[in-house]
């Protein structure tokens, strides 16, 4: 297991060697029970998708980057979770950096929206990828930020598939 180390702006990621969008520490991160930050981003077809569209259902907001090594390592588990979701699994909204083409190649069936500057992740208090947060059916933050594949997969119960 790699220890998470802060990444200086413009410096290569200690995990994958790529330079990711700067993700400074966010003091005013979303707190559990607060109204979730507005998400209004283009999907892979260019249509605007809003987090508000998911109201009425618990939603896992996954912060993703197809160029992230740890994201790629969890991709088979994520696809498996999409195909065989745990009972009462939340909807999945993937907020991703990378190109439209790179995201299509991930072959995810869930809604993928593009956020090249990681502004949405920072608004929720995420500092890198993969990370995720649960938003409840009323649009309120329902979890702390889960960081890293094991924590992300545990958040919605994905690690319990096949049991």
Domain boundaries, the chain: 40-158
Distance CA 128, CA 147 (A): 8
pLDDT digits (tens, 9 = 90+) for 114-155: 999 999 999 999 989 999 999 999 999 999 999 998 889 888
What is the pLDDT at residue 7? 39
Q: What CATH topology corresponds to 40-158? A: Glutaredoxin (3.40.30)
Q: To 5 degrees, how large is the angle CA 67–CA 71–CA 74? A: 145
Does residue 33 surpass a pLDDT of 50?
A: yes
Q: Is the pLDDT of residue 6 over 80?
A: no
User: Are residues 54 and 91 in contact, defined by beta-carbon separation less than 8 angstroms?
Assistant: yes
Per-residue pLDDT tens for 46-98?
999 999 999 999 999 999 999 999 999 999 999 998 999 888 889 999 999 99
**Which residues contact residue 95 at a Cβ distance below 8 angstroms, ignoring those fewer than 6 apart?**
39, 41, 61, 62, 63, 64, 113, 115, 120, 121
Residue 4, pLDDT above cutoff 80 = no
Model-level pTM? 0.79
């Amino acid at each position: 297991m790699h220890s998470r180390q802060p990444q200086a702006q413009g410096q290569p990621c200690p995990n994958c060697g790529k330079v990711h969008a700067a993700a400074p520490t966010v003091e005013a991160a979303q707190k559990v029970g607060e109204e979730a930050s507005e998400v209004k981003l283009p999907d892979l077809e260019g249509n605007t998708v809003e987090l508000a569209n998911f109201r009425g259902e618990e939603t896992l907001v996954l912060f993703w980057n197809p160029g992230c090594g740890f994201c790629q390592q969890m991709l088979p588990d994520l696809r498996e979770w999409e195909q065989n979701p745990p009972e009462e699994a939340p909807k999945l909204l993937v907020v991703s950096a990378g190109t439209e083409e790179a995201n299509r190649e991930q072959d995810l069936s869930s809604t993928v929206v593009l956020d090249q500057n990681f502004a949405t992740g920072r608004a929720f208090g995420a500092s890198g990828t993969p990370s995720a947060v649960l938003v409840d059916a009323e649009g309120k933050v329902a979890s702390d930020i889960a960081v890293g594949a094991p924590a992300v997969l545990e958040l919605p119960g994905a690690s319990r598939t096949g049991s």
